[in-house]
Structure 1
Amino acid sequence: MFKWYTELNQAEKRTYWACFSGWGLDAMDTQMYALAIPTLIALWSMTRGQAGVLGTTVLIMASLGGWIAGILADRYGRVRVLQITIVWFSAFTLLSAFTNSFGQLMITRGLQGLGFGGEWAVGAVLISETIRPQVRGRAVGSLQAGWAIGYGVAVLLSTLLFSTLEPALAWRVLFAVGLLPTLLVLWIRRSIKEAPVFAQIRKDNAADRPSIWAVFDKPTRMTTFKAILLTFGIYGGNYTMITWLPAYLKLALHLSIANVGGYLAINILGSFAGAFLNGWMADRFGRRKTFIVIACLQAIAVATYTLAPITLPVTLVLGFVLGTLQSGTAAGTGAYIAELFPTRIRASAQGLCGNAGRAIGAIMPTMVGVLSAKLQLGAAMGICACISYLLVVTAAVLLPETRGRDLSHVAQNGEEMPASAPAHNVHDGGAPLQEARAPSDVR
């Protein structure tokens, strides 16, 4: 499962670690807020509703930020925009340390969300275009493990600071530490080069500037909508369980706080493992089959949680399984979306499709709250989660298989051109847009 890494060349390894570190540090900065919520509620008399608004604001702004960063990356380069997004979300995490009210924090958190969504989109495209097709699923999918590591670092920092400092100071220091990711930019500037396939197309067509609405042009419009449907289902199901499962464990299954904490730790461990499992399955069996199988397994796991009488040991085991499956579906989107679109709009599509799914998926936890007024909490969770997983299966059936696709040979309509055919696309002006084959360094 891990042999693929040893076969990467130096440029691929450097790009991999740049994107892995960026995503992990992104997670660290983002999860700091979740860990500071109880303190902010106590210090500012902030309501739970306001805390929820802050969380939703970040997701919405991340959707916008992913699209904006993707558009800029298609125009000015993946590496340059990746650096900008890392500096952006780090700077606004630092500024959050100096806020003194709900309104001020909502502004800084919202602006931080722009960088959060942008970093993921640009990083996913950069690594997808750099890594060879034979191991792309495993390499890009494993980046999701960076999120689990970043989350874990945030938890450790939070524990250290809140155990040694007064709460009123600890949360500010925690956010101030969020400036550290900017150090990664210095390394990226010295070590990371532009993806070959993108560098070649910009060299051949330096004047080409795709419209911001290019992802909705007729050749790619339906692919865009189907990809958004896929990510909507993935994140809708994930957010449902991430948001409500701790409450369900405590209120419905009557687990103690210690047991709930143990469950969450095991769930995070499962999330780490899921990133590697999905990539291996996607490269071995195909992207579509992997999404369908994992979505069906998620439905079974959720049904077991919410309908079957389960004991504590079973709950903990299922926590690992569910974490693995949740991370697995999310991890698979990076490579798959990149393989669905031509190079000239690939970053824009990645930013829009990936992050729009996050934003729309955020309505599912709200739907659980609405339905739980008339149904038991477990039933409401099961309904919303299973509807989401059904959307994943539907989208996977409608979209094409892309395993092993050469990204320099993706036509404007999202289909793969024959290897012997001239690699070109037709852009808005009607002139041919050349895309040279990137060296694959296949052994």
Structure 2
Amino acid sequence: MSTTQAQSKQGELPEDTGAFAWLKALGPRGRRAFGGAFGGYALDSYDYFTLPLSMVAIAAYFSLDNGQTGLLTTVTLVVSAVGGAGAGILADRIGRVKALMLTVITYAVFTVLCGFAPNYETLLVFRALQGLGFGGEWAVGAILVAEYASAKHRGRTLGAVQSAWAAGWALAVIVYTLVFQFLDADTAWRVMFWTGALPALLVIYVRRNVSDAPEAAARRTASTERGSFLAIFKKDLLRTTFFATLLSTGVQGGYYTLATWVPTYLKTERGLTVVGTGGYLTFLISGAFIGYLTGGYLSDRIGRKKNIVLFAVLSAIGILAYTNIPSGANGLLLVLGFPLGFCMSAIFSGFGSFLSELYPTAVRGTGQGFTYNCGRGVGAFLPTLVGFLSDSWGVGGALVLGAVGYGLAVVALLGLPETRGKELL
């Protein structure tokens, strides 16, 4: 039957299968929600990367060893587990948009305060508190957009939201390169944190333009169930919660090991300058951005679980290859940065849709917030372990531990169902 005949028979326009069909399918409200979630996650990423990029300067300023430096990342991620779980409960109780604004304000305020820290202990506390907002933003933003997205396009829609992480990372690298070129290191790292005030502008946009998905909001308010930790540990959801947390632990342990220590590895063991490091990271981030979009597309085509398995294996191989390049072969290091960034990001693209589809509307925020961020908190111990082992193994050698995390993620999938095409209830 021709397209025209089908159109006449059904009285409908032919289905839009273009590259941006997923964006059109969101509708005006959904697109505004997408803009708010994308901006929130991009600036979440920006505020996070102010630390890894400034790590060498901070370590020198406060005379820190690698273990103490790694602890700054670990406390951020551990506290993010608390923040993410708490934000998930808030999203189920007060709505997605209100919770989103609270998380953005929190991570912005404490990022700025990090720039005023007079000593290591104060910086540690401020960075931990920054984790409260950092942990909650992604889960809340992902749910907000997932509840607007159609089942057919949910994977690539949430993959596009995830790509905001690479955009924020790229912005942080650009600002870092400029700041450290024109200011001395002792001042530059503080300025990096002060630029973390940028998210305040996003809150104004969200407050004026974004609202919860009407149908999902109606289901949430009509339900007698309210977001709580006990709800996601009841018999019918206990298995899902356990394996989803294990999955998040493995993937994020591998990812944050690389995100935290690659800049230091490039400087201390490869001897790259500030601008040189930025150049290498450009390849890594470019691969990440394309990886998020590709992973979202594949998540809809081959399924959530197959997408995660594929890129877990490729990410583990990439880590081993990246950290075993012979000394002096920095050109090869540059080339491998792109596929490494691609694979370690593509694995995340299905997370927003997968975790949203595992839980009912009434406890979706709690379930997604807890599993994703608890996994991040537990996985955060890998960067600290790398810091301590790097004194004897070298940073490059210790980075291999990231591959262990990806192996754990593959095992966790054995306990979870495939959810591709599932309608949110």
Q: State the TM-score, normalizing by the size of structure 2.
A: 0.86
The answer to whether structure 1 residue 385 and structure 2 residue 402 are counterparts is yes
1:296 equivalent to 2:313? Answer yes
Decide which of 58, 71, 92 is 1:53's aligned counterpart: 71
CA distance in 2, matches of 1:148, 1:204: 37
Pairwise mapping of residues 8-407 of structure 1 onto structure 2 (< 5 A)? 8-165=26-183, 167-205=185-223, 208-245=225-262, 256-257=272-273, 261-306=278-323, 311-368=329-386, 381-382=399-400, 384-407=401-424
CA distance in 2, matches of 1:80, 1:376: 45
RMSD across aligned C-alpha pairs, in angstroms? Answer: 2.7
Q: Which moved more, 1:329-338 or 1:16-25?
A: 329-338
Deviations 1:341-389 (A, max 9, x none): 111111111111111111211233445567778878766544x334322
- Kindly tell me: are residues 83 and 399 of structure 1, through their superposed partners in 2, closer, same or farther at Cα, counting changes over 3 Å? same
**Whole-angstrom distance in 1 between the partners of 2:268 and 2:117:** 34
Give how far 1:196 is off. Answer: 2.6
Gaps of 5+ in 2: 1-18
Q: Does the aligned pair in 1 maintain the 2:103–2:136 contact within 8 Å?
A: yes
For the residues of structure 1 that align with 2:187 and 2:38, how far apart are their CA atoms? 30
CA gap of 1:364–1:97, structure 2 versus 1, over 3 A, is closer
Q: How far off its partner does 1:243 sit?
A: 4.3
* Residues 197 and 343, structure 1, Cα contact 8 Å, conserved in 2: no
* 1:432 corresponding residue in structure 2: none
Name the CA distance, whole Å, in 2 between partners of 1:377 and 1:169.
26
CA distance in 2, matches of 1:90, 1:314: 37
Alpha-carbon distance change, 88 to 260 in structure 1, aligned in 2, over 3 angstroms: closer
Give unpaired runs (5+ residues) of structure 1.
Answer: 409-443
Matched residue type, 2:333? T
Q: CA deviation at 1:245?
A: 4.8
| C-alpha contact (below 8 Å) 1:288/1:397 kept by paired residues | no
Greater helix fraction, Structure 1 or Structure 2: 2
In the alignment, residue 174 of structure 1 is paired with which amino acid? M
Equivalent residues of 2:73, 2:380 under 8 A apart: no
Bigger shift: 369-378 or 35-44? 369-378
| Number of aligned positions between the proteins | 405
Q: Provide the C-alpha distance between the structure 1 equivalents of 2:254 and 2:383, rounded to a whole number of angstroms.
A: 9
Greater alpha carbon shift after TM alignment, 333-342 vs 211-220: 211-220
Q: Does structure 2 retain, via aligned residues, the 8 Å contact 1:339–1:407?
A: yes
Percent identity reads 42
In structure 1, the residue matched to 2:22 is 4
Q: Is the contact between residue 129 and residue 196 of structure 1 (CA under 8 Å) also seen in structure 2?
A: no
